[in-house]
Amino acid sequence: MEEKSTGSLTDSNQTGSEERVIRIVIADDHPIFRDGLRKLLSLEEDFRVVAEARDGQEVLDIVDEYDPDILLLDLKMPGWDGLTTLQKLQAAKKRTRVIVLTASDDKNEYVQAMKFGTCGIVLKQTATDLLIKSIRKVHNGEIWLDSHTTAAVMRQFASPSSSPPGPGGRDRERSPLSTREKEIVALVAQGFKNKEMAEKMFISEQTVKNHLHTIFDKLGVSDRLELALYAIHKNLHQG
């Protein structure tokens, strides 16, 4: 039976800094990859790998047991694959934020993963420092896509099957965004909910909804996910 926990890692060196520790689960069916990734992440003082899984069913059991902050999830696993696992996690409304780690170049998989609640997509050939940065960014509520995956996902969303094209095949940015609208776009991309944005901006939640309706119309996007992806693609997510 595959080991599920490196439990001793969570029991030490936490005095005074437990709140800052990012608790991580690694899900991949290759033991050598898991071992190498665990050792790499253990070099970061604020990271704790609390458990590992080799298939989707183990992932659900482990997330139930350990309630990690971050799940690093391979898309290609035996039994339940990554997309099926994502669907089940989404249905279970788990608070764990998921970063997909993949060697796949299938753009449709990127899009499906985002629709099933992934907060980040990192290619396995990505540099180590970017993986570490992605974990911290996603833990802070942001969406993480590198330039390659962002462009791929945006192309899928812009295709005729994803959204109706406007004149000339594209209908983005019918009119410029106001300063307040740009602020809202940045907050959406950073993972803020309507109520949180309202409190942060000292406006009503209904006003936020009204702004979002206008933004969707101006940019030609259909939902918050596409808006967040668009913001990242256009570098609007920094505020």
pLDDT-derived band of residue 193, with 50, 70 and 90 as boundaries? confident
pLDDT, tens digit, 9 for 90 and up, residues 118-156: 888 888 888 888 899 999 989 988 888 766 666 666 666
Whole-model pTM?
A: 0.66
Helices (H), the chain: 31-41, 56-66, 82-91, 107-115, 128-139, 147-158, 179-189, 194-201, 205-219, 224-233
10 neighbors 37 (Cβ within 8 angstroms): no
Interatomic CA distance for residues 232 and 193, integer angstroms: 17
Quickly state the pLDDT bin for 17 (edges 50, 70, 90): very low
Mind listing the domains of the chain with CATH numbers? Answer: 7-156 (3.40.50.2300), 166-233 (1.10.10.10)
Could you tell me if 77 and 29 are in contact, meaning their C-beta atoms sit under 8 angstroms apart? yes
